[in-house]
Structure 1
Amino acid sequence: MTARIANVSIHARDPLALSRFWAGAMGYPEFTGWPDDEVAELRAAGLTDDDIAARAEAWDGDPAHQRFYFTRYDRERRQRNRMHVDITPFDDRRATRAELEVERDRLVALGASVERELTEPWGPYEEYAIMMRDPEGNEFCLQ
Structure 2
Amino acid sequence: MAISFDLTLDCTDAQRVADFWKTALGYVDEPPPAPFATRAEWHASFDLPEDDSLDDGAWLCAPDRTGPRLAILKVPEPKTAKNRLHIDVRVPGHGSPEDRWARIKAESERLVKAGGAIVGEYDEHHVVMVDPEGNEFCVAAGPATSPPRD
Which residues of 2 match residues 77-92 of structure 1 at below 5 A? 77-90=79-92
CA RMSD of superposed structures (Å): 2.6
Segment of structure 1 superposing worse, 11-20 or 64-73:
64-73
AA aligned opposite 1:16? Q
- In the alignment, what sits opposite 1:2? 2
Cα gap change, 1:37/1:77 in structure 2, threshold over 3 Å: closer, same or farther? closer
CA distance in 2, matches of 1:41, 1:129: 40
User: Is 1:17 aligned with 2:46?
Assistant: no
Q: Which runs of 5+ in 1 are unaligned?
A: 120-126
AA aligned opposite 1:131? V
1:128 counterpart (88, 100, 125):
125
Secondary structure in structure 2 of the residue aligned to 1:88: strand
Q: Which runs of 5+ in 2 are unaligned?
A: 141-150
- In the alignment, what sits opposite 1:115? 119
AA aligned opposite 1:9? T
CA distance in 2, matches of 1:17, 1:3: 30
Using structure 1 for the length normalisation, give the TM-score: 0.79
AA aligned opposite 2:84? R
1:137 counterpart (130, 134, 138):
134
Number of aligned residues? 133
Using structure 2 for the length normalisation, give the TM-score: 0.75
Q: CA deviation at 1:36?
A: 5.0
CA distance in 1, matches of 2:44, 2:64: 27
- In the alignment, what sits opposite 1:75? 77
CA distance in 2, matches of 1:3, 1:14: 30
Segment of structure 1 superposing worse, 93-102 or 38-47:
38-47
Deviations 1:64-112 (A, max 9, x none): 133211011120222111111111122x647700111111110000000
AA aligned opposite 2:22? A
Secondary structure in structure 2 of the residue aligned to 1:16: helix
